[in-house]
Amino acid sequence: MTARFGIALDTALHLVAEGLAVPDRHALVAPSLLRSQMVSKLYADVRAGRMERAEADARLDRMRGLKIRLLGDRVLQRRAWAIADALGWSDTLDAEYIAVTALQADAFVTLDPHMEKAAARFVATASLHDLLTG
């Protein structure tokens, strides 16, 4: 089965940390902020001594190798604003991941049960297993 998945930051981080490959028949989408958030998270991990710089660089290389369409247009921003407002969130960052799924994907994948529950109000959700096998 071919599917397009919106993935959260935690999912992208897990994919690159574990060196997991998404089947070619699946497509990935995320907001353009994914890259900056991933660099920021890995930088913080290196600064805090939780990871060596070489490992962070390797993960960034794997991230760059993911076939993922990154979006950040006005329509996505409006949708993210509406989702964050509906959920009472203090910012729109996580809402962008849900919004990109609503606009461009069949289902949303996150490892965070709270984010999954929030997303389920707006989009279909799927598991990491679905993403990796489907």
pLDDT tens digits for range 106-115:
999 999 999 9
Give Cα 95 distance to the centre of its chain. 11
For residue 98, what are its two tokens? Answer: 């849900």
CA distance 123 to 15: 22
User: Is the per-residue pLDDT at 93 higher than 90?
Assistant: yes
User: Is the per-residue pLDDT at 1 higher than 80?
Assistant: no
CA distance 111 to 106: 17
CA distance 116 to 26: 20
User: Is the per-residue pLDDT at 52 higher than 80?
Assistant: yes
pLDDT at 2: 81
Q: Is the pTM above the cut of 0.75?
A: yes
